[in-house]
Amino acid sequence: MASLKSLLSGFLLLAGCAQALKFDLEATSSHHSNQRRCIRNFVNKDTLVVVTATLDGYKGDGMNVNMHISDSHGNEYGKAKDIAGEQRIVFTSHHDAAFDVCFENYLTGSKYVENPRRHVELDIDIGADAKDWSAIQATEKLKPLETDLRRIEELVGEVVSEMDYLRAREQKLRDTNESTNNRVKWFGMATTFLLIALWGWQIMYLRAYFRSKHLI
């Protein structure tokens, strides 16, 4: 039993070893889309996502930081304006698609800012990692080992779903490639036959021309 617990703990440690992304967000004097700082991630359909951003500074320090989350299909999952401290947005994805977490930082008012930047720590939890397993354990009255097994089961299920998605995408690309190859093949054959027909017509035309001139 002890070895099983150690194995489960090691697996969960490896599964959740990703650290938060840390970066500095420079402040600008105006709003421009090209001055946004965006982080992209991929998520499967109907998957729980928890985005947690922790920023230093405070409201009214001369900088205004906004956060915006949207996916490649145009779905918007959350907007937060003038954030400081910890900001959390929870959503469930609508498509198998990439989503962007974007930040913008701009100066406000006439207050002088000595160091016009905010430090950001961004943590994105997807699927099983986004669930509150302590609450699930308390609600369903699970033992710690049962909770770990449930979490591992969901993590493995996500890996299998990801593999199925990649396999289906690979099959789609293979079908597209084969269809393109067939079209190129038939286009090449049609071009060859057209050139042969044109060559034959040119010979017949020149022969008729020379005969009309009594050259042959």
- Stronger pLDDT, 22 or 4, i.e. the higher one: 22
**Residue 94: inside a domain:** yes
How large is the average pLDDT for residues 91-116?
Answer: 87
pLDDT given at position 87: 93
**Residue 9: inside a domain:** no
pLDDT given at position 144: 81
Give the pLDDT confidence of 67-90 residue by residue, as tens digits.
Answer: 999 999 999 999 999 999 999 999
Residues 112 and 177 in one domain: no
**Residue 107: inside a domain:** yes
| DSSP-assigned states of every residue in 159-185 | HHHHHHHHHHHHHHHHHHHHHHHHHHH
- The conformation of residue 28, written as its DSSP 8-state character, comes to B
97, 130, 163: which is the final residue of a domain? 130
pLDDT given at position 19: 57
Indicate if the pLDDT at residue 32 is higher than 70: no
* Pairwise CA distance, residues 84 & 105, whole Å: 11
**Residue 3: inside a domain:** no
Give the pLDDT confidence of 107-131 residue by residue, as tens digits.
Answer: 887 677 778 889 999 999 988 887 8
* Pairwise CA distance, residues 65 & 99, whole Å: 19
92, 111, 130: which is the final residue of a domain? 130
pTM as predicted: 0.64
- The conformation of residue 20, written as its DSSP 8-state character, comes to P
Residues 112 and 178 in one domain: no
Can you give the CATH number for the domain in which 107 is found? 2.60.120.680
**Residue 8: inside a domain:** no
pLDDT given at position 31: 62
- The conformation of residue 213, written as its DSSP 8-state character, comes to T
25-34, 39-48, 126-135, 198-207: least confidently modelled range: 25-34
- Total domain count, the chain: 2
pLDDT given at position 29: 79
Q: Which domain holds residue 105?
A: 18-130
130, 154, 185: which is the final residue of a domain? 130
pLDDT given at position 28: 85
Residues 203 and 112 in one domain: no
Residues 39 and 102 in one domain: yes
At residue 4 the predicted structure's pLDDT band, cuts being 50, 70 and 90, is very low
Indicate if the pLDDT at residue 9 is higher than 60: no
Residues 68 and 113 in one domain: yes
